[in-house]
Amino acid sequence: MLQANSRPANATLILLASLYCAQGLPSGLLAHSLPVLLRQHGVDLALIGLLKLLALPWLLKVLWAPWVDRLASPRLGHHRGWILPLQMTVIAIVTGLALINPERLFDSHFLLLIGLLLLVNLAASTQDIATDGLAVRLLPERWRGLGNSLQVCGYKVGMLVSGSGLLLAMDTLGWYLSLALVAALLVLMTVPIWRFAERRELPFLPEQAEPAGPGLLLRHYRGLLMQPGMLFWLAVLLSFKLGDALGSPMIKPMLVDQGWSNTELGQLTLISSLVGIAGAFIGGLLYARIGALRALLGFGLLQAVGIAAMAQLVHAGGNSALVYSVALFEQAADGMSTVALFAVMMRQCRPEHEGADFTLQASVQLLLAGLVGASSGLLAKWLGYEALFVGAGVLGLLALPLVLLYFRRSQLAALVHAQ
């Protein structure tokens, strides 16, 4: 077993990075490449917009996550028994898409395309449950920030490769070879989990899991919510990313209104994404040094300052140096704060309940943030961009006292329990 201060082995870090990168590859294909390709082939905008509904498995996975925690393969191992078949399913689908003529796929075979994409999302979202559970078990407390850096960075790299990278490759390599390369990369990302001896290193302990059968869903999540301090932690989850959720959807529309072209926005997006990846990696390293409380408070403060600073750009869109400075700072702060939040989420996961416990927390965090993000355009129209960004920063600051209160109550509960 790893000690609390032991740095994970390089093989463990490579394993987790490969799994999260593998999840980012199909996500980038669905979110960035396919909408462009569909429109180029004349698919109606309304149908392209409805593709967002194919992401429903990511929202609904909380309903079957307890079964991923409970059911284990006696031959492949617990998490590995889920990850390998699901990743092979995604590889098979991407390979199949590479063999189909795109002219037919986007026309007469469009329903087939929809069905395959839904299956990809179902497989990838279920695999994410098992991957998160595996990450919680593999990473000691101090190094969970670094582990979540790999999660954020690996996923974003995968999305960049199959999003921007795939679109660039299409012009040179064409549909068939470009998708074949995505499938080949997925095969490469499967090698570490294929070689991982989970049954020996992380044996499944069914006596610590919920009994299977009717009522598993209710028993599982009731047990999590009854943990000491969980209600305060849920308040942190609901509030910590609200400021970012409110302000970030309006950054690009604001720049469009100030005359930024698609090329200029694309360059800004690419560079800021790379800076966000670097921020996530730095955040993970700092988490190991400064601990959970100071990481959440410090990175949360940077996040609030970053989104509020966008108000300085409302009348300064022509100053590209200022835009880049503020945008890159905001993205770095977002990466750092996300890593810290995910790392503390891992602390709340119970043994043999890791996948579903992490999934529920992630779903809670996204729920209110999604609703607030959906209202950002309306609020920007009513209040103006400047008031929106300042309000988003204030909202981010208001979450920090909740973080402090949660940790103080947790420390007090630990003292009482020790006595």
Q: How far is CA 214 from the centre of its chain?
A: 30
The C-alpha atoms of residue 144 and residue 345 are separated, in whole angstroms, by: 10
In-domain check, residue 214: no
pLDDT at 191 over 80: yes
What confidence tens digit (pLDDT) does each residue in 112-170 have? 888 898 999 999 999 999 999 998 888 887 788 888 888 888 888 888 888 778 877 88
* 73: three-class secondary structure by DSSP: strand
- Contact between 393 and 304 (Cβ < 8 Å): yes
Q: How far is CA 169 from CA 39, 47, 131, 228, 322, in A?
A: 17, 25, 29, 51, 32
Q: Which residue blocks in 348-375 are alpha helix, DSSP H?
A: 354-374
The pLDDT tens digits for 231-282 are 889 899 999 999 998 888 888 888 888 888 877 877 887 888 889 889 988 9
Cα 245 to Cα 203: distance, rounded to the nearest angstrom: 39
Task: Note whether 250 and 175 are same-domain residues.
Answer: no
Taking the C-alpha atoms of residue 127 and residue 19, their distance in angstroms, rounded to an integer, is: 9
Of 162, 62, 148, which Cα lies nearest the Cα of 337?
148
CA nearest neighbour of 253 among 378, 77, 119, 417: 378
Give me the half-sphere count of Cα atoms (radius 13 Å) on the Cβ side of residue 72.
Answer: 24
Q: Is residue 180 part of a domain?
A: yes
Q: What is the pLDDT of residues 303-339, one digit of tens each?
A: 999 999 999 998 887 788 999 999 999 999 999 999 9
Q: Are residues 189 and 231 in the same domain?
A: no
Q: Point out the domain boundary residue: 146, 164, 198.
A: 198
How far apart, in whole angstroms, are the C-alpha atoms of residue 235 and residue 232?
A: 5
65 within some domain: yes
Asked whether residue 192 is assigned to any structural domain, the reply reads yes
For residue 413, pLDDT over 70 is answered with: no
354-374 and 376-383 helices cross at what angle (nearest 10)? 30
> Is residue 401 assigned to a domain?
yes
- The answer to whether 268 and 323 have CB atoms below 8 angstroms apart is yes
Q: What's the whole-model pTM score?
A: 0.81
- Two structure tokens written together for 403: 């973080």
Which residues span the domain enclosing 186? Answer: 10-198
User: Does residue 322 lie in a domain region?
Assistant: yes
Domain-embedded: residue 212: no
Query: Residue 138 carries which side chain, given as an amino acid letter?
Result: L
Decide if 2 is inside a domain: no
Q: What is the dihedral of CA 359, 361, 367, 368, to 10 degrees?
A: -170
Give the span between the Cα atoms of 50 and 385, in whole angstroms.
28
Looking at every residue in the chain, the average pLDDT score rounds to 85
Instruction: Say if residue 70 is in the same domain as residue 126.
Output: yes
Last residue of a domain, one of 198, 233, 251: 198
The reply to whether 224 and 192 lie within a common domain is no
Interval 331-352 mean pLDDT = 89
Q: Are residues 186 and 232 in the same domain?
A: no
The 10s digit of each residue's pLDDT in 48-84 is: 766 777 878 888 899 999 988 888 888 888 899 999 9
